[in-house]
Amino acid sequence: MSNFRVILIFLVVFVFGTLSTQTFAQTYSLNGKIKGVDQGWVFVLHRQTGVTDSGQIVNSTFTIRGKASAPEFCNFGLSANGVKNYYFGFFLMKGRLTLQASKDSLTDVGVLFKGSRIATEFQQFQKLTGQIYGAHDSEAATNAKLGELASVYTLKHPHSYISAFALASFGGNLSQLSHLYTSLSPEIQTSYFGKQVYNKLKHR
């Protein structure tokens, strides 16, 4: 075999190996167990693209695989006994993560995530918003508190995707929104929710 053919084969193997590695690096695997649900289907709805990934529940366990090139907000759905509902939102990122829950605890803060820092961070943020909603203030007072939460959270966590989510969700009326946006890291500014904040500023 000539040296040229050896080099050519090496290059082909290298290119395909690199592509496979890059593809794997942009995927996620969600393994979970839902106590009280023996059979059915689970779904991950990617809110930014509309794509839905699914997995079958067998003996209360499931696996869902799909693409997640960057952290993104998703909804988790369950279909059991012929009824399909989406129960909670969470942040998904590439890699392996696990979910544990019972059929009566399918809420933003009622499930247990492992292996995903951003999913856990989002749950902690949701607990803070839950405290505000739980106060049962007037709509204006609630919105003001949520805006203040978004402001404080962003200043403390400028490198967090949750900060961009908070500003996009609750910071639209903040007078200091421009300052808060510029305090975000470049990566977060150009994220999905970072772009939403930018558009809010552009249309003021």
The boundaries of every CATH 2.60.40 domain in the chain are 27-115
**In this predicted structure, what is the pLDDT of residue 1?**
55
Count CB neighbours of 136 within 10 A.
Answer: 8
Question: Does residue 137 have a pLDDT over 90?
Answer: yes
Question: Does residue 123 have a pLDDT over 90?
Answer: yes
pLDDT band at 204 (very low <50, low <70, confident <90, very high): confident
- Fold observed for domain 27-115: Immunoglobulin-like (2.60.40)
Q: What is the mean pLDDT of residues 20-41?
A: 82
Dihedral of the alpha carbons of 182, 121, 68, 83, in degrees to the nearest 10: -130
Both tokens of residue 114? 């492992």
**In this predicted structure, what is the pLDDT of residue 82?**
86
pTM: 0.85
Percent of the residues in the chain that have a pLDDT greater than 90, as a whole number: 84
Both tokens of residue 2? 């000539």
Going by the DSSP 8-state scheme, the letter that residue 78 receives in this structure is: E
Q: What is the mean pLDDT of residues 77-83?
A: 93
